[in-house]
Amino acid sequence: MEGKQQQQQLPPPGPAVPGAASDKRRSEEGKDEVGGGALGRPLGPTPSQSRFQVDLVAEGAGRSAEEPRRASGDGGAAGKSSEEAKGRFRVNFVDPSAGDESPGEPGGGSSEGGNVSFQNGGDTVLSEGSLHSGGHHHYYYDTHTNTYYLRTFGHNTMDAVPRIDHYRHTAADLGEKLIRPSLAELHDELDKEPFEDGYANGEEGTPAGEEAAAYTPDSKGVVKFGWIKGVLVRCMLNIWGVMLFIRLSWIVGQAGIGLSVLVIGMATVVTTITGLSTSAIATNGFVRGGGAYYLISRSLGPEFGGAIGLIFAFANAVAVAMYVVGFAETVVELLKENGTLMIDEMNDIRIIGAITVVILLGISVAGMEWEAKAQIVLLVILILAIGDFVIGTFIPLDSKKPKGFFGYKAEIFMENFGPDFRQEETFFSVFAIFFPAATGILAGANISGDLADPQSAIPKGTLLAILITTLVYIGIAVSVGSCVVRDATGNVNNTIVTELTNCTTAACNLNYDFSSCQAGCHYGLMNNFQVMSMVSGFAPLISAGIFSATLSSALASLVSAPKIFQALCKDNIYPGFQMFAKGYGKNNEPLRGYLLTFLIALGFILIAELNVIAPIISNFFLASYALINFSVFHASLAKSPGWRPAFKYYNMWISLVGAILCCIVMFVINWWAALLTYVIVLGLYIYVTYKKPDVNWGSSTQALTYLNALQHSIRLSGVEDHVKNFRPQCLIMTGAPNSRPALLHLVHAFTKNVGLMICGHVHMGPRRQAMKELSTDLAKYQRWLIKNKMKAFYAPVHAEDLRDGGQYLMQAAGLGRMRPNTLVVGFKKNWRQGDMRDVETYINLFHDAFDVQYGVVVIRLKEGLDISHLQGQEELLSSQEKSPCTKDVIVKVDYSKKTETDTSIAFAPSCSERTPALHKEEDEDGKNPTQPLLKKDSKSPSSPLNLADQRLLDASTQFQKKQGKSNIDVWWLFDDGGLTLLIPYLLTTKKKWKDCKIRVFIGGKINRIDHDRRAMATLLSKFRIDFSDIMVLGDINTKPKKENIAAFEEMIEPFRLHEDDKEQEIADKMKEDEPWRITDNELELYKTKTYRQIRLNELLKEHSSTANIIVMSLPVARKGAVSSALYMAWLEALSKDLPPILLVRGNHQSVLTFYS
């Protein structure tokens, strides 16, 4: 009642209809209110005593969204121009008196669920469902409003107190999800642009979450069962099968009472351990529909879950046929006894089976309530039949004695206690025949979605059912073994008149001579399957019990199979089966699944050869039991903090033993069926692993992967590095990974499965904006790398400039021994046109890398590396018209998923070189996802590419292709520890590069060329590195051509200081302000080195112009002595107009060794 009153006092959310006072205040502030698209969630303000309203404004809803809003409100503020204030965020303080008037005024909700107002300091919280339902709104308030928090904390706060509704999933059947304020809402400044999504952990923003939110189940009329009706009754009916009445007496005859109890005990051990494991998983969180499949998939992940779900659903469907044929066989037996067969035995079984399965289908489709009533009736009949047998054992009739039934006799008990295996039966074959009678323990768990409280019902019902059924099995085995002899003739004339002295059998002691049974009889435990009918007080009741046992098991399987299959299809693990996910009616009944199960069952009934099918079904059930046990062991082993079962009576090692026992029993029952089951499970597992369904259930596989990675990383940290185990671990300054694909693919070629690769991305610009992008980019680009099969990590940082960001990454990236040791950068192609301060920053990156003992690799393609300006041209153009250029990274903002027009807008394209590419998700799923495709907009024709851009695009994909038979030229001029040689060797070990030959070029003196070549050949052979040729360059120090020297001088002219032509003071001031300038003194001092770079470029063009790739020693410039402009000019002169070139400089510690 209190909640209702509070709801009445609060103004309805949606487009707030302001009162006069707030209208006036609004006009004073001169702000616009604009209609928005559907928002992910409401945004809240900072704690404040006064009431206020938060208006969120989104682009993309356009004018169409404005119309209903104008109609719904008073037509004032809500309809003002959306063009003027796109993407704005406003806070309006609302007069409390206006808030009180609001409920009386028309407040209608917008069709988009747009503007959301918070009253009382934001303590009115909307449910997720209300935000997505659209049109007709149902609002769910957090009843802990302002007064509650004031009472609790003594001051007004929008911080939420702990409560269960904050932890619900979006589509919670049990109650509505409430949303706690995000950290951004509590912590961020209010006057700036808020986070676009406002989600705390990204869980609600997924499309699946939104679909789920749109579905709020109607709880009225839904049938939910308690633990007795839902689990206990079902499990007992399923476990007590035909075995109880037809085969148990035969098992006692073969194995004897002692071993029969052992057989029952062994089967019970397996089922009890599985029952305990099921209870542990079922009590570790909320259980939805899907039974065994749900339990396994949420524990071990979709791979095992998907494999087991399919075969378990199939096994249940075929089990329907097995039980129905068991029923039909009993009916045909009765018809045969009375001589009323319809056609012949086989066809009669088919006819009766088909009719039965149609009736069972009718009961199932009628709804779970009818099915549950039918189960109760069948249980009553079954219990009566068991009671009938027990009563019969106490009434030994003389007419039954010739058939071997004498009542409870010690001599019969003694005789039947030991085994008497006949017809090649063994202990294990008898166990294999009995074990299927113990299955059925998951009948309750399989309808977990229809239980009122599955967490308490599944453990109680399952374990109690195992206990009761086991006691009944043992009781009947002992009693039938104590009353009935193994062989009897059924002939009344076999009574002994004269007393025999040498009696050896119990029958003989009881004055019956059944010795003629050596030839074979029709009665006794060994020969008569209908012993229980014969012993019972009223035989037809046993037949009714058989009918009840078979039909109840068939009914339970007929209900289980579709429910499991529906849960499997809902998770979309096998996309082809999606149509079976649809449910009908209040209970979400899987009618399509029922029909499929019916058809499978009918097919197997018409085959009527169930002796072949039965062992496979048993093995399918056992495989799922094994995996349930293994799930508990695995979850315990992974030590995941989320593994906290309420059911404490389990042990991880006992569960492991249970899993192993299940696997052993599979082979005991039928070795070929066990192998077939393993092959099917493995095949499905591989298929699901290959398909990688896009689900994340927090499985124990994830937890164990993390634990292993953590333990191995720590173990690795305790081991000193050794030169034999050196790996190039690269930190690549890629920016957004998809903006420089050539850089990424080339480095990936020599680090894949060899070393670490981290893609560094420095975000510059306003900190608040960058922090927002950091979190979204991290998930987006890591996903992009995985999707493109890149074995790499993405590491974004925010820094003032590129140098700071590079320093942060070099110092902090990596973990323990898995830290980068090599910095990889692309060559700065446009350095002469850009700001020279950027060049200073770029060159300082090299110095910083050498300072922290990193190797450095500079990669240059003559076409360039950065293709970000070619991706998503339309988005970039449209955004440039709307927003001024800032040093920001592009972000995708999608406010509304319900508008028909594409609202994916690119904001603030970066003016710096490090612009990341805008890649739409749809493109990433294309056939060749790594190929940077141009985005073509259907509405506007895109401009054709110019020649340079086309070449750039082609060059960006060149390392994805097979490289063919060509050369990798290694110019190993300086000994840097061997990195210059190791990288090309690693390239040749990869499939795409394996046909390439390594040619080595070294410097030397003209008069000892042969000696130098032999020395290098010896060194390379000791390093075990194959090479096709070694060339010694004796003319490195020859003066370069005059035109090349002139071209170099022309290139550096704009960057010279010319201090000799200026006054000392002016020159010093210029050098201080522009430290990158080249002094005349410096130029003269390093003339020889300058000439060497120009000469090397001439030699490179002469010898390596046809190579696939060139790897060359990077010249080193002394810090503080060589200006950035001169060093950059050296690199330019050295590497211009060449095939792809890697300038490599190791950290001068050996990375190669010839010792073993």
Weakest-pLDDT range from 542-556, 752-766, 860-874: 860-874
Closest by Cα among 921, 186, 910 to 195: 186
Give, rounded to a whole angstrom, the gap between the first and last alpha carbons of the chain: 82
Report the range of poorest mean pLDDT among 212-221, 776-785, 833-842: 212-221
Q: What is the DSSP letter of 1121?
A: T
pLDDT of residue 203 exceeding 90: no
Say which residues have a Cβ less than 8 Å from residue 587's Cβ, sequence separation at least 6: 222, 223, 367, 368, 450
Q: Are 947 and 955 in contact (CB under 8 A)?
A: no
From 656, 38, 611, 590, select the one nearest 365 (Cα to Cα): 590
Quick one: pLDDT at residue 149? 53
Distance in angstroms (rounded) separating the CA atoms of residues 722 and 1151: 9
**Would you say residue 380 has pLDDT above 60?**
yes
pLDDT of residue 629 exceeding 60: yes
d(CA 666, CA 659): 11
**Mean pLDDT for the chain?**
75
d(C-alpha 575, C-alpha 695), whole Å: 13
Q: Kindly state the average pLDDT of the residues 230-257.
A: 87
**pLDDT band (50, 70, 90) for residue 114:** very low
Of residues 617 and 29, the one with the higher pLDDT is 617
Is residue 23 pLDDT above 60, yes or no? no
Rounded (to 5) percent helix, strand, coil in the chain: 55, 10, 40
Q: What distance in Å separates the CA atoms of residue 627 and residue 908, rounded to the nearest whole number? A: 52
Helix (H) or strand (E) holding 144: none
Nearest to 1038 by CA among 973, 1086, 1083, 1094: 1094
Cα gap 1033→894, rounded to integer Å: 59
For residue 794, the 8-state DSSP code is E
Q: What value does the mean pLDDT take over residues 291-312?
A: 85
Work out the pLDDT band at 156, boundaries 50, 70, 90.
Answer: low
pLDDT value of position 477: 93
d(C-alpha 393, C-alpha 238), whole Å: 25
Pairing of strands 52-56, 89-93: antiparallel
Give the pLDDT confidence of 904-930 residue by residue, as tens digits: 223 333 333 333 333 333 333 333 333
For residues 342 and 351, the answer to whether their CB atoms sit within 8 Å is yes
Helix (H, G, I), strand (E, B) or coil at 242: helix
**Residue 593 backbone dihedrals phi, psi, to 5 degrees:** -65, -40
Whole-number pLDDT of residue 478? 94
Per-residue exposure over 779-788, b if at least 16 CB sit within 10 Å of its own CB, e if not: ebbbebbeeb
Burial of 1118 (0-12, 13-18, 19+ CB in 10 A): exposed
Taking 70 as the threshold, does the pLDDT of residue 687 lie above it?
yes
Q: What is the mean pLDDT of residues 709-713?
A: 90
Contacts of 449 (CB under 8 A, 6+ apart): 288, 289, 290, 563, 567, 588
Torsion-angle region of 131 (φ positive above 0: left; ψ -120 to 50: alpha; else: beta): alpha
pLDDT over threshold 80, residue 8: no
Separation of CA 976 from chain center: 44
Q: What is the mean pLDDT of residues 940-965?
A: 76
Q: What is the pLDDT of residue 539?
A: 84
Beta-carbon contacts of residue 1096 (< 8 Å; ≥ 6 apart): 971, 973, 1036, 1112, 1134
Phi and psi, residue 787, nearest 5° = -60, -35
330-339 average pLDDT score: 82
* Residue 955 pLDDT exceeds 90: no
Under 8 Å CB-to-CB from 641, ≥6 apart: which residues?
none
What Rg value do the Cα atoms of the chain yield, rounded? 40
pLDDT band at 173 (very low <50, low <70, confident <90, very high): low
Q: Work out whether strand 855-860 and strand 1141-1145 pair parallel, antiparallel, or are unpaired.
A: antiparallel
**Residue 468 tokens, joined:** 């009761």
Residue 1087 burial by Cβ neighbours in a 10 Å radius (0-12, 13-18, 19+): exposed
Bridge partners of 907?
Answer: 891
Question: Between the CA of residue 1088 and those of 203, 399, 1039, 1051, 1091, what are the distances in Å?
Answer: 62, 124, 9, 17, 5
- Residue of 950, 414, 976, 353 lying closest to 607 (CA atoms): 353
Q: Degrees (nearest 5) of the Cα angle 531, 533, 539?
A: 165
Helix (H, G, I), strand (E, B) or coil at 20: helix
- Mean pLDDT, range 338-343, rounded to an integer: 77
For residue 174, the model assigns a pLDDT of 54
Which tokens is 925 given? 């799923």
170 confidence band (pLDDT: 50, 70, 90): low
The pLDDT tens digits of the residues spanning 848-877 come to 999 999 999 999 988 888 888 877 543 333
User: Residue 263 pLDDT more than 90?
Assistant: yes
Using N-to-C axis directions, what is the helix angle for 539-570 and 291-300, rounded to 10°? 40
